């Protein structure tokens, strides 16, 4: 299948006028931020730039806090098991039931139809760990995914770069969409020894023109967060992650050098009070990322699991990637194809939403805490994801 002539969905002019707002709570979405200044329907035009910066930083900070619940870990899968006794979790489960407990209903609706499986990577196939480079997939999980792919078309849809997620998963028989769906290899045959030309023909990269900009912003982000202990930057090809999992939420003692660095950076823009209030590390990360993005109006920031994700403002996300893959793999017949998408992150909500809107298939959210979601079902952690995948394979074998 030659994808080279597919028209890439590029710049969305409406979205372009709203950089930096992706991760903000909805009450802040009324404000639009323009490259050369600020305007907003809900804001008095005379309000100072400084005030709005404070709003942006604290909005991003709130999003960072709310998306980062700290929970106990269990040894097997790096997840906690405390939700059993939590009444709020039980109430949420009534709305978003376990996909394991509901397995019979799920497969009953798939009788005589084709199931397609879409899997997020981090937090879904591998446990969340402190070091993103160590988020390996266990051999048993790999075997489960390999088996699923024997019976159902299976794709990985990840925020990681496509190459990096392939290095973790290592299964040539799957389809891969990296960079939150902005880098799609729609033919599994391309992980074999095929020519560069045929690989290119099967690639779909709607944000290709942003590559130089992503490299540039990566350099700036690396520079600004280098003074913050624990903060790291990961270039995911068409997007960049700024990790704050290992950053203290609040600074306990402030090294004079850091204070001086901040003050000199902010001189002329922020007052010493603002600098002092920024001496909370998470707030500092949010503030510095926002600062950097001022020079990149065609990039926006969204918030994942203790990560700020900087990406092009284009009308493309994991949901669009799922639609694209269904179409290009000949699975677009919503009467006869049941897509199942399993993911744990806010970016996976775009895919859950698409399945809801198509009124076909199921989103399954992996979560140990109640979350607002467009998913139909839930699983608690990667160990349950593996169990669900094994159930699917067993059911398919028996029904053949
Ligand atoms: O779409 P995904 O495959 O879920 O990728 C989303 C981000 O995942 C990774 O970060 C997350 O997992 C890390 C390893 O467990 C963890 O340390 C980090 O706090 C999480 O946010 C990845 O490193 C990011 O680049 C992805 O954007």
- Which CATH number characterizes residue 226's domain? 3.30.70.1020
Could you identify the atom of ligand 1 that is nearest to the CA of residue 305? 21
Question: Is 321 in the same domain as 177?
Answer: yes
The answer to whether position 61 is within a domain reads: no
Question: Is 180 in the same domain as 232?
Answer: no
Question: Is 139 in the same domain as 218?
Answer: no
Rounded to 10 degrees, what is the CA torsion of 66, 70, 71, 73? 140
> Which residue segment(s) compose the domain that 235 sits in?
211-254+280-312
CA nearest ligand 1 atom 23, residue: 132
Question: Is 113 in the same domain as 162?
Answer: yes
Question: Is 182 in the same domain as 320?
Answer: yes
Pocket test for ligand 1, best of 73, 125, 304 (most atoms within 8 A of CB): 304
CA nearest ligand 1 atom 21, residue: 305
The answer to whether position 344 is within a domain reads: yes
Question: Is 302 in the same domain as 381?
Answer: no
Could you give the CA distance from residue 293 to residue 310 in angstroms, rounded to a whole number? 9
Tell whether the torsion through CA atoms of 210, 216, 221 and 226 is positive or negative: positive
Question: Is 246 in the same domain as 387?
Answer: no
Is 128 a pocket residue for ligand 1 (Cβ < 6 Å)? yes
- Which CATH number characterizes residue 355's domain? 3.40.50.1000
Is 234 a pocket residue for ligand 1 (Cβ < 6 Å)? yes
The answer to whether position 1 is within a domain reads: no
The tokens describing 56, both together, are: 């942006």
Question: Is 328 in the same domain as 369?
Answer: yes
Is 160 a pocket residue for ligand 1 (Cβ < 6 Å)? yes
- Residue 100's pLDDT is 98
Is 348 a pocket residue for ligand 1 (Cβ < 6 Å)? no
3-state SS, one letter per residue, for the chain: CCCCCCCCCCECHHHHCCCCCCCCCHHHCCEEEECCEEEECCCCCCCCHHHHHHHHHHHHHHHHHHCCCCCCCCCCCCCCCHHHHCHHHHHHHHHCCECCCCHHHHHHHCCCCEEEEEECCECCCECCCCCHHHCCCCHHHHHHHHHHHHHCCEEEECCCCHHHHHHHHCCCCCEEEEHHHCEEECCHHHHCCCCHHHHHHCEECCCHHHHHHHHHHHHHHHHHHCCCCCCEEEECCCCEEEECCCCCCCCCCCCHHHHHHHHHHHCCCCCHHHHHHCCCHHHHHHHHHHHHHCCCCCEEEEECCCEEEEEECECCCHHHHHHHHHHHCCCCCCCCEEEEEEECCHHHHHHHHHHHHHCCCEEEEECCCCCCCCCCEEECCHHHHHHHHHHHHHHHHHHC
The ipTM, to two decimals, is: 0.99
The tokens describing 243, both together, are: 């990790």
Domain boundary pick from 272, 292, 312: 312
Question: Is 361 in the same domain as 334?
Answer: yes
Could you identify the atom of ligand 1 that is nearest to the CA of residue 243? 19
Residue with tokens 């068409």: 238
Domain boundary pick from 265, 297, 312: 312
Tell whether the torsion through CA atoms of 264, 268, 269 and 272 is positive or negative: positive
Neighbouring-strand partners of residue 32: 39
Question: Is 182 in the same domain as 146?
Answer: yes
Could you give the CA distance from residue 197 to residue 82 in angstroms, rounded to a whole number? 51
Residue 279 CB contacts under 8 Å (≥ 6 apart), including other chains: 251, 254, 258, 259, 262
Could you identify the atom of ligand 1 that is nearest to the CA of residue 234? 25
- Return per-residue pLDDT of the chain as tens, 400 residues: 444 434 333 333 223 222 222 332 222 222 122 222 222 222 222 223 334 345 556 667 767 766 555 443 333 333 444 455 789 999 999 999 999 999 999 999 999 999 999 999 999 999 999 999 999 999 999 999 999 999 999 999 999 999 999 999 999 999 999 999 999 997 766 566 667 766 676 899 999 999 999 999 999 999 999 989 999 999 999 999 999 999 988 765 556 666 666 666 655 554 444 454 455 688 899 999 999 999 999 999 999 999 999 999 999 999 999 999 999 999 999 999 999 999 999 999 999 999 999 999 999 999 999 999 999 999 999 999 999 999 999 999 998 8
pTM: 0.79
The answer to whether position 31 is within a domain reads: no
Residue 149 CB contacts under 8 Å (≥ 6 apart), including other chains: 117, 171, 173, 174
CA nearest ligand 1 atom 13, residue: 132
135 CA → ligand 1 middle, Å? 8
Pocket test for ligand 1, best of 64, 123, 141, 239 (most atoms within 8 A of CB): 123
Provide the domain count of the chain.
2
Rounded to 10 degrees, what is the CA torsion of 246, 252, 256, 261? 40
Pocket test for ligand 1, best of 122, 239, 305 (most atoms within 8 A of CB): 122
Question: Is 299 in the same domain as 241?
Answer: yes
The answer to whether position 60 is within a domain reads: no
- Residue 400's pLDDT is 83
Whether 16 contacts 298, CB under 8 Å: yes
The answer to whether position 237 is within a domain reads: yes
The tokens describing 55, both together, are: 């709003």
Could you give the CA distance from residue 298 to residue 295 in angstroms, rounded to a whole number? 9
- Residue 238's pLDDT is 98
- Residue 254's pLDDT is 57
Tell whether the torsion through CA atoms of 375, 378, 380 and 381 is positive or negative: negative
- Residue 202's pLDDT is 80
CA nearest ligand 1 atom 5, residue: 159
Question: Is 112 in the same domain as 145?
Answer: yes
CA atoms within 13 A on the CB side of 237: 20
129 CA → ligand 1 middle, Å? 9
Is 306 a pocket residue for ligand 1 (Cβ < 6 Å)? yes
Could you give the CA distance from residue 45 to residue 51 in angstroms, rounded to a whole number? 12
The answer to whether position 170 is within a domain reads: yes
The answer to whether position 133 is within a domain reads: yes
Pocket test for ligand 1, best of 126, 307, 366 (most atoms within 8 A of CB): 307
- Residue 392's pLDDT is 98
Could you give the CA distance from residue 397 to residue 400 in angstroms, rounded to a whole number? 5
């Amino acid at each position: 299948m030659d994808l080279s002539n597919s028209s890439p969905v590029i710049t969305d002019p409406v979205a372009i006028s709203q950089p930096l707002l992706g991760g903000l709570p909805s009450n802040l979405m009324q404000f639009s931020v323009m490259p050369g200044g600020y305007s907003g329907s809900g804001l008095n035009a005379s309000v100072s730039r400084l005030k709005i910066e404070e709003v942006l930083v604290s909005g991003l900070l709130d999003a960072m806090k709310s998306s980062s619940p700290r929970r106990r870990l269990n040894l097997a899968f790096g997840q906690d098991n405390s939700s059993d006794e939590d009444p709020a979790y039980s109430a949420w489960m009534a709305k978003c039931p376990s996909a394991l407990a509901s397995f019979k209903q799920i497969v009953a609706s798939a009788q005589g139809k084709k199931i397609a499986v879409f899997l997020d990577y981090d937090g879904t196939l591998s446990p969340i760990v402190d070091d993103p480079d160590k988020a390996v997939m266990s051999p048993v999980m790999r075997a489960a995914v390999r088996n699923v792919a024997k019976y159902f078309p299976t794709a990985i849809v990840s925020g990681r770069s496509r190459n990096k997620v392939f290095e973790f998963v290592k299964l040539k028989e799957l389809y891969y969409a990296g960079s939150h769906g902005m880098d799609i290899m729609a033919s599994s045959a391309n992980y074999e020894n095929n020519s560069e030309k045929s690989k290119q023909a099967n690639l779909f990269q709607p944000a290709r023109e942003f590559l130089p900009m992503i490299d540039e912003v990566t350099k700036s982000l690396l520079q600004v967060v280098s003074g913050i202990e624990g903060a790291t930057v990961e270039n995911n090809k068409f997007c960049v992650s700024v990790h704050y999992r290992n950053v203290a939420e609040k600074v306990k003692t402030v090294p004079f050098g850091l204070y001086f660095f901040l003050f000199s950076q902010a001189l002329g823009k922020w007052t010493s009070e603002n600098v002092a209030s920024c001496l909370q590390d998470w707030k500092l990360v949010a503030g510095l990322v926002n600062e950097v993005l001022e020079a990149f109006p065609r990039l926006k920031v969204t918030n994942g699991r203790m990560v700020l994700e900087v990406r092009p403002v284009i009308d493309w996300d994991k949901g669009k990637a799922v639609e694209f893959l269904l179409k290009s793999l000949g699975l677009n017949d919503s009467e006869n194809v049941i897509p199942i998408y399993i993911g744990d992150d806010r970016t996976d909500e775009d895919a859950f939403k698409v399945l809801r809107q198509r009124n076909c298939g199921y989103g399954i959210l992996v979560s140990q805490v109640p979350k607002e979601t467009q998913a139909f079902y839930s699983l608690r952690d990667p160990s349950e994801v593996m169990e669900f995948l094994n159930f699917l394979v067993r059911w398919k074998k028996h029904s053949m």
